[in-house]
């Protein structure tokens, strides 16, 4: 299909919208209401273009214009500008944008003037300022002046829709993105327009927004109407250091951008990864970041003679570890790590364990069985049947839930062009018809329960066995759904995998091969899939982290079992956790927001982590901490930094993580290590992820009452600067 | 306390007018709202939630629809809901004075009900009776036209004794349950006279 945009001819697939035709031709059209992953609506009328098409005579030949060889098909123009986001481009269509058409330029400037009639001029105090679609487009396409000399609309400026989202009703331009988002993506009709005309505002009648995925509306709001309350008034957009990285709160591995200012993590916004999270992230990933900049450990702590943990230098900590472990056989030192460590860190730890001949090696949480993923998240979204076994996706992998809901809407993935994801994919419609009969949920009740056509209340642990040998009519219906589907996907959650053994894996493999189902077993930890490829499980005669108390001495990195080892205990963590408070030496760790490295998500995709500019004092990642531990033990550290760890990883599992691209790449490790594991109940939100602002209010009050001066500005220059 | 629990035949009748699908159920929203408002004078939040549950939608959606139409009320209305036309023609003929008089003598503001529970007032846009301005409509009963000071006093006097005078004109066009527009005389008008067809699969139905 050939389309002419401002005289440039482009070749496009049938069904492309006119707005994507313009962008494909390298042109530009302003728009507010269209969104890549939402249905096009034509609400804002900013994407106006002039368009026309050739017309055919009754005999099938084109109506021509001109004489002889110079004759070309005559273009019949629409009499008025058209909204390009809801118009389908057709063969031979001609489109004129503001670049070549006075009419369009004037129409867009006029629409801009209308949109700005009631928009307050509070850009200087608006969090969106500097990253605001309305601001940018007003500058590019507006008159630059308003002829409206009357009072603007006045409405509620600080209307909390929930604890996390604040609505400024004056700023709203009624693009309806948030309304459509809730209806189309998480399937919750909780927002809508109230009143009409100039009085229209957004509100909910449900007493607040449901937690789960509500924060995404702050990303898609084209103006500063819906704001992230955790990051509100924390900085201007041009002051933030933007770091694109991967969220490691759960095994989905969503693309995020971490915004830090003056060394503090202030905001997290969703990044786009078409294969993983599209453009959505969960509320925990977006709002659960205050811990990264609150109450962090910034220096090592060493327990003194009085039994108190006091700040120390790394050298003092190394000396203390050396003394504490004196006389202990190196092989008796337990090495334990949290399952959100990167692959590089895991490789460094595995190599150190090899060098020490350590037996007590473990990572937590993990399942006692490893089931290699055969389905990708795109497979889930485009499946024709999904069976979820014993999973509470809200706690285990929230965005997987969104991809399942996408499957219920027909699994229409927006097309991709050279300019990115289609801005308006005309196949996406408002109030899409859903196919709940394609989803079966077996296990306990969860948020997904309400969307499922087949619901079987079952004890998650034997759900798989019961599905393989259905004993009730409900289960037989689910089995029939699996058998009848062409692209079925099985999703196993923590309940189904708890206590699972090799026989369960064999049963699953058998079921998958019989039904042709692809499988995703949700890993227990964010990087459990990757760490399973490294020998980080108890070795012969070794004890797991669940029997920490019996281990003679231990080094515990970013794990909080709430107990200490039998003897000398070194804890490496970001905060003074319950475990750290029991330790002999505490070493400061960095969060995953500050790491460079690689993790593998639940579908086996290697995803890169990039370090955000967050102040963390002398904190170190696991690789550098292990060099300190090696020094204390008097052995040579297998890796001294990221490069060395990458080399180790290359040697042990044959993956070059230095070349992992932004969007990640699927990878299957040849070998995996499993061992019996303690049961674990996944929990997405931890207490520390909630904002502690109220504590601060009290603390500041205490300080003021106590005659202290407030810590307004640190005396020393801060890394990160105040650019 | 549920409004529709005791009225299952009515609910079934309303739903039978629409396709038996999730989208069809949502379409029953308007008649359900009208039913509640006719009975109670307004649609309270609990009724919104009840209707939302019936239609398979959310209370937000119901409120959105209610708030779009100025003829649905979310606050209680009086036994006599006086709707004063305030568009240009009536305004020129004195509807502002009529409004001020009503608000003063009845001691109600929009959104309020007078102490005796009889009166509530609302300014409405043009009711299409400009030749007889100023005018007002009481409930859905009909038009009271050329409402000058003395006529207004007479109407209020009778209403206070619950003797509602006959309207000068009934509401010009109403839509019957069968979807046809009819004049007060019962004469069918509009495109519904010829434009409504019996659906083929519903042979025997009233169309």
Please state, rounded to an integer, the average pLDDT across all residues of chain A: 92
Note the pLDDT of residue A298. 94
List pLDDT tens digits, range A47-80. 999 999 999 999 989 999 888 888 899 999 999 9
Q: Is B121 within 8 Å of B84 (Cβ atoms)?
A: yes
Q: From the CB of residue A709, how many other CB atoms can be counted at a distance below 10 Å?
A: 7
Q: In A410-472, which residue ranges form alpha helices assigned H by DSSP?
A: 463-468
Is the pLDDT reported for residue B159 higher than 90?
Answer: yes
Hey, is the C-beta of A194 within 8 angstroms of any chain B C-beta? yes
In whole angstroms, what is the distance from residue A224 CA to residue A201 CA?
14
Q: Characterise A42 by phi-psi region: left (phi > 0), alpha (psi -120 to 50), beta (else).
A: left
In whole angstroms, what is the distance from residue A536 CA to residue A359 CA?
10
Spatial neighbors of B39 by CB under 8 A, at least 6 apart, are: B3
B140, part of any domain: yes
Note the pLDDT of residue A198. 86
Instruction: Give the domain-ending residue among B16, B39, B68.
Output: B68
Note the pLDDT of residue A723. 47
Spatial neighbors of A143 by CB under 8 A, at least 6 apart, are: A109, A112, A113
Interface test with A, best of B44, B67, B73 (most A CBs within 10 A): B67
Looking up tokens 């294969």 gives: A275
In whole angstroms, what is the distance from residue A602 CA to residue A526 CA?
8
pLDDT bracket for residue A699 (50, 70, 90): low
Note the pLDDT of residue B195. 64
Q: Is A226 within 8 Å of A217 (Cβ atoms)?
A: yes
List pLDDT tens digits, range A531-587. 999 999 999 999 999 999 999 999 999 999 999 999 999 999 999 999 999 999 999
CATH topology of domain A150-293: Alpha-Beta Plaits (3.30.70)
Determine whether A572 is exposed, middle or buried from the number of CB atoms within 10 Å of its CB (0-12, 13-18, 19+): buried
C-alpha torsion A249→A254→A259→A264, nearest 10: 10
DSSP state at residue A27: -
Looking up tokens 């060099």 gives: A627
Peptide bond into B207 cis (omega under 30): no
Is the pLDDT reported for residue B173 higher than 90?
Answer: no
Q: From the CA of A15, how many Å to the nearest CA of chain B?
A: 26
Note the pLDDT of residue A341. 96
Name the residue among A189, A195, A196 with its Cβ closest to that of B61. A189
Percent of chain A with pLDDT over 70: 95
In whole angstroms, what is the distance from residue A396 CA to residue A250 CA?
6
In whole angstroms, what is the distance from residue B133 CA to residue A199 CA?
28
Give me the number of domains chain B comprises.
3
In whole angstroms, what is the distance from residue A296 CA to residue A274 CA?
34
In whole angstroms, what is the distance from residue A341 CA to residue A622 CA?
8
Percent of chain A with pLDDT over 90: 81
- Contacts of residue B63 in chain A, CB cutoff 8 Å? 192, 194, 203, 205
Hey, is the C-beta of B63 within 8 angstroms of any chain A C-beta? yes
Q: Are residues B57 and B121 in the same domain?
A: no
Residues facing A9 on adjacent strands: A4
Mean pLDDT to the nearest integer, A378-384 = 96
How many contacts (CB atoms, under 8 Å) link A and B?
35
CATH number of residue B63's parent domain: 1.10.10.1590
The 3-state DSSP class for residue A380 equals helix
List pLDDT tens digits, range A312-344. 999 999 999 999 999 999 999 999 999 999 999
Asked, colleague to colleague, whether A150-293 and A329-369+528-666 share their fold, the answer is no
Note the pLDDT of residue A66. 86
Q: Are residues B96 and B55 in the same domain?
A: no
N residues, chain A: 723
Note the pLDDT of residue B191. 65
Hey, is the C-beta of A195 within 8 angstroms of any chain B C-beta? yes
**In CATH, which of 2.60.120.640, 3.90.1150.10, 3.30.465.10, 3.10.20.740 is domain A2-114?**
3.10.20.740
**E strand intervals along A526-604:** 553-557, 569-573, 585-588, 597-600
List, as one string, the DSSP characters of A629-649: HHHHHTS--S-SSHHHHHHHH
Mean pLDDT to the nearest integer, A6-16 = 95
Sheet architecture: strand order including A333-338 = A309-311, A301-303, A585-588, A569-573, A553-557, A333-338, A361-364
Contact A192 B60 (CB under 8 A): yes
Per-residue buried b or exposed e for A610-637, using 16+ beta carbons within 10 Å of the residue's own CB: bbbbbbbeebbbbbbbbbbbbbbbeeeb
Q: Characterise A413 by phi-psi region: left (phi > 0), alpha (psi -120 to 50), beta (else).
A: beta
Q: From the CA of A197, how many Å to the nearest CA of chain B?
A: 9
The 3-state DSSP class for residue A467 equals helix
Note the pLDDT of residue A4. 96
In whole angstroms, what is the distance from residue B26 CA to residue B64 CA?
13
More confident residue, A722 or A639: A639
Q: What Å distances lie between residue B203 and A430, A440, B180, B200, B206, CA to CA?
A: 32, 38, 19, 6, 8
Is the pLDDT reported for residue B147 higher than 60?
Answer: yes
List pLDDT tens digits, range B47-90. 999 999 999 999 999 999 999 998 899 999 999 999 999 999 99
In this structure, are strands A585-588 and A569-573 parallel, antiparallel, or unpaired? parallel
In whole angstroms, what is the distance from residue A221 CA to residue A177 CA?
7
In whole angstroms, what is the distance from residue A452 CA to residue A511 CA?
21
List pLDDT tens digits, range A678-698. 888 899 998 888 765 555 566
In whole angstroms, what is the distance from residue A296 CA to residue A1 CA?
58
* R_g over Cα of chain B: 19
- Contacts of residue B61 in chain A, CB cutoff 8 Å? 189, 192
Q: What number does CATH give the domain A377-429+436-517?
A: 3.40.228.10
In whole angstroms, what is the distance from residue B12 CA to residue B30 CA?
14
Note the pLDDT of residue B193. 67
Q: Are residues B91 and B119 in the same domain?
A: yes
Q: Is B205 within 8 Å of B177 (Cβ atoms)?
A: no
Q: Is A116 within 8 Å of A62 (Cβ atoms)?
A: no
pLDDT bracket for residue A211 (50, 70, 90): confident
Is the pLDDT reported for residue A715 higher than 80?
Answer: no
- Which residue, among B108, B106, B105, B110, has the nearest Cα to B124 in the 3D structure? B110
Establish how many alpha carbons lie within 13 A of residue A553's alpha carbon, considering only the half-sphere containing its beta carbon.
Answer: 20
Establish how many alpha carbons lie within 13 A of residue A118's alpha carbon, considering only the half-sphere containing its beta carbon.
Answer: 16
Instruction: Give the domain-ending residue among B48, B68, B88.
Output: B68
> What are the structural domain ranges in chain A?
2-114, 150-293, 329-369+528-666, 377-429+436-517
Instruction: Give the domain-ending residue among B47, B68, B89.
Output: B68
In whole angstroms, what is the distance from residue A59 CA to residue A269 CA?
56
Tokens describing residue A702? 């205490």
Q: From the CB of residue A225, how many other CB atoms can be counted at a distance below 10 Å?
A: 27
Note the pLDDT of residue B205. 44
In whole angstroms, what is the distance from residue A397 CA to residue A391 CA?
9
- Which residue, among A517, A516, A542, A520, has the nearest Cα to A529 in the 3D structure? A520
B113, part of any domain: yes
In whole angstroms, what is the distance from residue A332 CA to residue A343 CA?
24
Mean pLDDT to the nearest integer, A492-508 = 87
- Contacts of residue B23 in chain A, CB cutoff 8 Å? 431
Q: Are residues B131 and B87 in the same domain?
A: yes
Note the pLDDT of residue B206. 45
- Which residue, among A583, A613, A617, A574, has the nearest Cα to A723 in the 3D structure? A613
Q: From the CA of A717, how many Å to the nearest CA of chain B?
A: 51
pLDDT bracket for residue A709 (50, 70, 90): low
The 3-state DSSP class for residue A587 equals strand
Contact A189 B67 (CB under 8 A): no
Mean pLDDT to the nearest integer, A256-277 = 95
Note the pLDDT of residue A213. 95
Q: What number does CATH give the domain A329-369+528-666?
A: 3.40.50.740
Q: Is A399 within 8 Å of A422 (Cβ atoms)?
A: no
In whole angstroms, what is the distance from residue A129 CA to residue A238 CA?
9
Q: Which domain holds residue B188?
A: 173-202
């Amino acid at each position: 299909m050939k389309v002419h945009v401002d005289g440039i001819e482009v070749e496009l697939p049938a069904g492309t919208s006119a707005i994507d035709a313009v962008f494909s031709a390298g042109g530009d059209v302003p728009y507010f209401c269209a969104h890549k992953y939402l249905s096009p609506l034509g609400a804002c009328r900013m994407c106006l273009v002039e368009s026309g098409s050739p017309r055919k005579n009754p005999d099938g030949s084109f109506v021509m214009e001109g004489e002889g060889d110079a004759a070309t098909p005559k273009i019949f123009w629409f009499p008025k500008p058209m909204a390009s986001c809801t118009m389908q481009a057709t063969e031979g269509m001609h489109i004129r944008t503001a670049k070549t058409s006075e009419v369009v330029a004037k129409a867009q400037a006029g629409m801009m003037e209308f949109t700005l009639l009631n928009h307050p001029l509070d850009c200087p105090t608006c969090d969106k300022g500097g990253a605001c679609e309305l601001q940018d487009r007003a500058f590019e396409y507006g008159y630059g002046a308003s002829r409206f000399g009357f009072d603007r609309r006045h409405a509620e400026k600080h209307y909390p829709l929930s604890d996390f989202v604040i609505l400024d009703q004056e700023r709203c331009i009624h693009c309806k993105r948030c309304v459509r988002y809730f209806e189309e993506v998480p399937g919750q009709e909780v927002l809508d327009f109230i009143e009409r005309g100039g009085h229209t505002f957004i509100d909910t009648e449900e007493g607040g927004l449901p937690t789960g995925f509500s924060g995404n509306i702050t990303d898609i709001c084209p103006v500063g109407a819906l704001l992230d309350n955790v990051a509100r008034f924390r900085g201007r957009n041009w002051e933030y250091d933007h770091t694109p990285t991967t969220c490691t709160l759960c095994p989905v591995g969503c693309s995020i951008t971490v915004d830090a200012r003056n060394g503090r993590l202030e905001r997290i916004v969703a990044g786009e990864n078409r294969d993983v999270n599209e453009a959505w992230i969960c509320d925990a990933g977006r709002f659960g970041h205050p811990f990264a900049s609150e109450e962090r450990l910034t220096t090592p702590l060493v327990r003194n003679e009085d039994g108190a943990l006091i700040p120390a230098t790394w050298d003092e900590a190394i000396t203390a570890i050396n003394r504490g472990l004196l006389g202990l056989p190196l092989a008796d030192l337990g090495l334990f790590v949290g399952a959100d460590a990167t692959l590089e860190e895991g490789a460094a730890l595995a190599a150190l364990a090899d060098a020490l001949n350590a037996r007590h090696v473990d990572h937590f949480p993990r399942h006692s069985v490893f089931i290699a993923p055969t389905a990708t998240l795109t497979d889930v979204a485009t499946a024709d049947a999904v069976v979820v076994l014993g999973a509470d996706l809200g706690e285990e992998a929230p965005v997987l839930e969104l991809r399942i809901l996408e499957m219920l809407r027909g699994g229409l993935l927006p097309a991709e062009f050279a300019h990115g994801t289609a801005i308006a994919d005309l196949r996406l419609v408002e109030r899409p018809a859903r196919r709940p009969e394609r989803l079966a949920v077996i296990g306990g009740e969860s948020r997904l329960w309400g969307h499922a056509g087949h619901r079987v209340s079952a004890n998650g642990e034997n759900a798989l066995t019961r599905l393989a040998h259905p004993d009730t009519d409900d289960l037989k219906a689910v089995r029939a759904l699996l058998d009848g589907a062409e692209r079925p996907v099985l999703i196993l959650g923590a309940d189904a995998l708890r206590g699972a053994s090799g026989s369960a894996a064999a049963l699953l493999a058998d079921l998958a091969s019989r039904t042709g189902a692809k499988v995703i077993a949700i890993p227990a930890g964010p990087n459990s899939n990757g760490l399973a490829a490294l020998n980080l499980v108890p070795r012969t005669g070794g004890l797991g982290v669940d029997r920490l108390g019996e281990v003679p001495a231990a080094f515990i990195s970013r794990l909080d079992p709430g107990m200490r080892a039998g003897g000398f205990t070194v804890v490496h963590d970001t905060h003074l956790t319950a475990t750290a408070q029991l330790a002999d030496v505490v070493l400061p760790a960095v969060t995953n927001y500050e790491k460079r490295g690689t993790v593998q998500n639940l579908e086996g995709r290697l995803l890169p982590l990039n370090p955000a500019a967050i102040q963390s004092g002398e904190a170190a990642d696991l690789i550098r901490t292990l060099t300190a531990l090696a020094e204390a033990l008097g052995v040579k550290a297998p890796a001294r930094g990221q490069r060395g760890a990458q080399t180790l990883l290359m040697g042990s599992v044959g993956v070059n993580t230095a070349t992992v691209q932004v969007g990640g790449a699927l990878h299957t490790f040849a070998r995996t290590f499993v061992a019996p594991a303690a049961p674990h109940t996944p929990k997405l939100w931890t207490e520390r992820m909630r904002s502690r602002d109220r504590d601060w209010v009290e603390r500041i009050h205490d300080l003021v009452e106590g005659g202290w001066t407030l810590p307004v500005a640190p005396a020393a220059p801060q890394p990160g600067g105040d650019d | 306390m549920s409004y529709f629990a005791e009225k299952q035949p009515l609910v079934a009748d309303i739903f039978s007018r629409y396709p038996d699908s999730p989208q069809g159920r949502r379409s029953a929203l308007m008649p359900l709202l009208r039913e509640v408002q006719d009975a109670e004078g307004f649609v309270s939040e609990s009724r919104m939630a009840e209707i939302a549950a019936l239609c398979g939608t959310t209370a937000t959606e119901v409120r959105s629809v209610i708030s779009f139409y100025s003829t649905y009320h979310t606050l209680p209305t009086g036994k006599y809901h006086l709707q004063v036309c305030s568009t240009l023609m009536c305004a020129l003929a004195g509807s502002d004075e009529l409004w001020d008089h009503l608000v003063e003598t009845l001691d109600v503001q929009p959104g309020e009900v007078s102490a005796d529970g009889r009166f509530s007032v609302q300014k409405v846009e043009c009711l299409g009776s400009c030749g007889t301005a100023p005018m007002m409509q009481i409930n859905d009963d009909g038009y009271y036209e050329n409402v000058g000071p003395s006529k207004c006093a007479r109407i209020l006097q009778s209403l206070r004794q619950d003797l509602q005078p006959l309207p000068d004109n009934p509401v010009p066009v109403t839509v019957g349950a069968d979807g046809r527009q009819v004049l007060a005389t019962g004469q069918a008008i509009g495109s519904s006279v010829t434009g409504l067809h019996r659906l083929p699969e519903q042979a025997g139905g009233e169309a």
